[in-house]
Amino acid sequence: MNRLTLFNAAVRPDQALIERFERLNTPSISDNLERNHGCVGVHAVGACLTALGMTTIAGPALTIRTRPGDNLVVHKAMDIAQPGDILVIDAHGEVTNAILGEIMCRYARSRGIAGIIVDGAVRDCEAIGSGILPVFAKGVSHLGPYKSGPGEIHGTVNIGGMTVNDGDIVVGDADGVVVVPAWRAEEAVHAAEAVVEMERQQVSDINNGTLDRTWIDEALEVKTVDEIQRYRTA
């Protein structure tokens, strides 16, 4: 029952690219990925980001698929992870048993792991929320995990309805988690940076009272009541 399928690890993205994503936020990224690359229902545990003095985490996904409620392969993944990796754990969205808690988070931090994303439950929320490590999860449960396997590492997983491949770039903040396919990373970061700059200008225009809102009527094709009545009686 404890079989592990270990796929080849993906090529890691350039560190400079990761650092550019760290300066962004998830909305600016997902808006440039057809608004279709987010992990629904997976959020930061407590105030873990704030407690660490962080707003955003970003890093390459180390993908893990495990039997619901079981964390044997998660332990193995922590032992082979490289510094800066974000563990992306597909636990099938099941929240009956926690996949990890405080002790595993402390061990992950000692290994240089940048964060953990769990499509499943965690426990020891108060400790995790106090700032051990950035952790995102679907739910919370005091019930502990089993350790009998099986599982996969470095394969394709699903997190909150989003497909994630090993080596994809994962970005998480207070709004949730977005996944950037590795092959789109350069395009996505450039587009997101442009959105952030555009929004800075919009904030400035709001403060100055000069924000252009004409696009709303153009999008709605507004017609007056008189125009509609003339159309109906023509």
Put simply, whether the predicted model's pTM sits higher than 0.85 gets the answer yes
- Tell me, what's the pLDDT at 215? 86
Which CATH number is 33's domain given? 3.50.30.40
- Tell me which residue range forms the domain holding 162: 4-193
Domain count, the chain: 1
Residue 51 resides in a domain: yes
Exposure of 110 in the CB half-sphere (CA atoms within 13 A): 7
pLDDT of residue 231: 61
pLDDT at position 232: 64
pLDDT tens digits, 22-38: 999 999 999 998 887 78
Domain assignment present for 225: no
User: Alpha-carbon distance 58 to 20, whole Å?
Assistant: 9
Please indicate, yes or no, if residue 214 is contained in any of the structural domains: no
Q: What are the phi and psi torsion angles at 66 (to 5°)? A: -135, 160
Q: State how far Cα 93 lies from the chain centre.
A: 15
Q: Which residues of the chain are under the pLDDT cut of 50? A: none
- Residue 47: inside a domain: yes
- At residue 129, what are phi and psi to the nearest 5 degrees? -65, -20
pLDDT recorded at residue 157: 98
Is there a domain that residue 30 lies in? Answer: yes
pLDDT value for 131: 95
Q: What is the pLDDT of residue 230?
A: 67
Residue 97 forms part of a structural domain: yes
In a domain, 215, yes or no: no
Domain for residue 31, yes or no? yes
